[in-house]
Amino acid sequence: MDEAFETALVTFDSETGIGTITMNRPDALNALNGQLRDDIIAGLQRLEAENEDADGVALRAVVLEGAGDKAFCAGADVGGFSDDSAGGSGDRSHYEVIKDFPTPVIAKIDGYCLGGGLETALACDLRLASDDSAFGFPEVNLGLLPGAGGVQYVSKLAGPAVAKELAMTGEHISAERAAEEGIVNRVYPAPEFEDEVDEFVTELAGQAPLAVQAIKESAQMAVQTGLEEGIRHDRELFSRLLATEDHEEGAAAFGEDREPEFDGR
């Protein structure tokens, strides 16, 4: 099955049970706009439908990747920030849909993985990266914080000090460092990346699917306590920061390709 949504390509291989969703805005480094967020959700729903007439579980693993050779995803589209960038307050966000999706979702990261792109990867179950990938939370440069739980996730995986370092400095870290900190599961040399990921995911897709789903649910429970409350709080902070002059300045400076001057208002 191949299906092209406006900003995402979806494929399903019935032999292996592997579904792939390719975020397809390479000219914008696969930045998340509303359409892409919707298309990721629609893609997951489309893949889950493979289970409907199956005898057992047809969909065994989902790979989420970015089109082009530069980025997994460079974060929220800086052209149009809103509360929805952090998941919003209405329908379930793509972050939540990925997190709660019964089948494991694997982020295949080759290039920039920033801001909401990193939060999207963190909502996935596993993160596999090429060694020329870069990770970071640049939101602070726009007078914001990662609004979809990035600080919460990294605090759980790597500890609050690493989360604060990333989110307060906005600096990028390498795939090796991300793996050392527990943010990324595996790092592969770029020339071998495609083959290594294929092998890993094919292996995973071959495991007992109900057991894999139960393990996902179990791991979810383990981190649930406290996390939701933290994300809710981040959303409130995100909303407040959206109304600040510093955010306006950060966004304007980005658009005008100059250094921002923040006033703390």
Nearer to ligand COA (CB atom), residue 70 or residue 216: 70
Q: Does 114 bind ligand COA (CB under 6 A)?
A: yes
Question: Which residue in 86, 119, 158, 251 is the catalytic one?
Answer: 119
In DSSP terms, 106 is beta-bridged to 63, 126
Question: Which among 258, 217, 253, 243 is positioned nearest to 82, based on CA atoms?
Answer: 243
Size of the chain, expressed as the number of residues it contains:
265
- Looking at beta carbons only, is 76 or 162 nearer to ligand COA? 76
Per the residue annotation, which of 43, 116, 136, 147 is the catalytic one? Answer: 116
Residue 119 designated active-site: yes
Helix (H) or strand (E) holding 177: helix 175-180
Q: How far is the CB of 240 from ligand COA (least distance, A)?
A: 16
Smallest CA-to-CA distance from 175 within 121, 109, 115, 116 is with 109
The CA distance from 149 to 103, in Å, is: 21
State the nearest-atom distance from the C-beta of 69 to ligand COA, in Å.
11
Q: 83 exposed, middle or buried (CB, 10 Å; 0-12, 13-18, 19+)? A: middle
Q: How many CB atoms lie within 10 A of CB 265?
A: 9
Pick one of 12, 101, 112, 135: the residue that binds ligand COA (CB under 6 A). Answer: 112
Among 8, 23, 31, 166, binds ligand COA (CB under 6 A): 31
Which segment (24-32, 54-62, 184-192, 202-210) binds ligand COA by CB under 6 A?
24-32
Task: Report if residue 138 touches ligand COA, rule: CB under 6 A.
Answer: yes
Contact residues for ligand COA, defined by CB under 6 A: 28-29, 31, 74-79, 112, 114-116, 138-139, 142
Q: Which residues are catalytic?
A: 76, 116, 119, 139
